[in-house]
Chains A and B, each alone.
Chain A
Amino acid sequence: MSKHMPQEKITSHNDVSEKILAEQIAKLPNKMTPERDLWSGIERAINHKAQEIPSQQQGNIFVPSAWAASVAMVMLVSWFTFSPSINEQGEPALVNTQAGSSVTQGQLVDFMQKNFQQQKQTLLVSYGQPTVDKLPPAMQKELKQLADARGSIRKALLTDENNADLLNLLDFTQQQELKLLQQLYRQYQVI
């Protein structure tokens, strides 16, 4: 970046000529010193922004899990509101997979629950048995919502154990809970 030196222009004695102006421009200092210390503010700002990033990442984790919990709850409520008898006509997807076997629906729910607990336990062991209460409150709330949704579905299945949609919903909710736990533990390693 060079400085531009214009051609000299003759002017009267006290007039500032192009040449004088060009000389003054060339003499301009390229440094000035601020009166106050600027670094402390910069340091604060970059540390503050560094803290913002993980919290934004937490937010990103919540989006799918919150969405999943909401979907589970909406489906559950819709089910009870609009389709009380559909299970008598429909063919459940998970039940289909069990067709021909001697496993009853009640046993299937137990099996799913045991399988879920086992996967959860394996996950916790692999991360050194962390405790959830050390997570930020927003995350705890998110996990609790998923667990509540799972509990509600299980409760509903106690009275309607042949309901295939509820079984699928339970499976979906369990998988979402495991996914969220895995993401959180991966991020925080030890909670």
Chain B
Amino acid sequence: MDSQINKTTKVIDGQALFSASNRHTADDSEQAWIAQAKQGSQSAFYQLYEKHHRQIYALCWRMLADKDSAEDVCQEVFVVLWQKINNFRGESKFSTWLHSVATNVVLGHLRKHKNWLQRVFSIEDQGPSLAEPSTGLIDDSTLTILDQHIARLPERARLVFVLFAVEGYRHEEISNMLKMAVGSSKSQYHRARSLLKESLTASDFISIDEELTNE
């Protein structure tokens, strides 16, 4: 598909012209896009991208805690999706399958970018100190306060927290993904919660939240 694609219309290339008319539900549309993307239609694939990329970007951002990396990895997720879309057999919801593809791509990215010291000694990047709430918060007004604090968690605690509390994976699944014991996944989760509560308390989160609510 060339760059002149009309991104505002839902016109699909090739033999199967498809429009999101009233007789189609959103799921029907998605099924059609998936089928066409499997046949090589980049326009249909673009529709899938349009529908899902914001959720995938959110997942990438929360796991990586870095805007530029999140954007790069989000792109990588969709490139991998294009290559693997034929593996989707409809046994689960497409979004669930896509999130698992995305999670694997993010974890692969993190493994690739670990420095040798972290690899050899299993040291994790502690990030900014959570005891000092004023430092290290990401200056981005589009982020929720909680997201800003999640970004400051140590990497392992952050990954477990995002996968368990936000993405809804079970500790057994997380332990497989992160190659850690189930008990470690649980303890990292509790660690993350404690750190978040401390950090939010220290940043006077309740008064901020009340102010925002009153506004």
Residues of chain A touching chain B, judged by Cβ–Cβ distance below 8 Å, are 1-4, 6, 13-18, 20-21, 24-25, 27-36, 38-43, 45-46, 49
Docked-complex contact B200 and A16, CB < 8 angstroms: yes
Q: Which of B75, B96, B196, B201 contacts A38 (CB 8 A)?
A: B75
Known pairs A13-B206, A20-B200. 8 more at Cβ < 8 A? Answer: A2-B168, A21-B197, A21-B200, A24-B146, A33-B54, A39-B7, A42-B78, A46-B42
CB <8 Å contact, B146 and A38: no
Q: How many A-B pairs fall under 8 Å by CB? A: 108
Report yes or no: B146 in contact with A31, Cβ–Cβ below 8 A. Answer: no
Contact A28 B144 (CB under 8 A): yes
> Is A34's CB under 8 angstroms from B74's CB?
yes
Q: Which of A4, A27, A46 contacts B144 (CB 8 A)?
A: A27
Chain B residues, CB < 8 A from A27:
144, 146
B132 at the interface (CB under 8 A from A): no
> What separation, in Å, do the CA atoms of A40 and B1 have in the docked complex?
11
**Could you tell me if B82 and A46 are in contact, using CB atoms closer than 8 angstroms?**
yes
Does B70 sit within 8 A of A, measured CB to CB? yes
Nearest CB of A to B148, in Å: 11
How many Å from the CB of B123 to the closest CB on chain A?
28
A1 adjacent to B167 (CB under 8 Å): yes
Of residues 37 through 70 on chain B, the ones whose CB sits less than 8 Å from some CB of chain A are: 42, 45-46, 49, 53-55, 57-58, 61, 67, 70
| A-side interface mostly | loop
Measured between C-beta atoms, what is the minimum distance from B109 to chain A in Å?
15
Smallest distance from the beta carbon of B20 to chain A beta carbons, Å? 19
Q: Would B58 and A4 count as touching, CB distance under 8 A?
A: no
Assess the A38–B53 pair: CB atoms within 8 A: yes
Interface hub of A6, A18, A24 (most chain B Cβ within 10 A) = A24
Closest residue of chain A to B79 (Cβ to Cβ) is: A45
Docked pose: A6 CA to B164 CA in angstroms: 12
Name 26 A/B residue pairs within 8 A (Cβ), A-sorted: A6-B193, A16-B197, A16-B201, A18-B197, A21-B146, A21-B193, A21-B200, A24-B146, A27-B144, A27-B146, A29-B58, A30-B58, A31-B54, A32-B143, A34-B67, A38-B53, A38-B57, A38-B75, A39-B49, A39-B53, A42-B75, A42-B79, A43-B42, A43-B46, A45-B79, A49-B83
- Known contacts A33-B54, A33-B57; is-contact A4 B78 (Cβ 8 Å): no
Answer whether A1 and B201 are a contact pair too, CB < 8 Å, given A33-B54, A46-B82. Answer: no
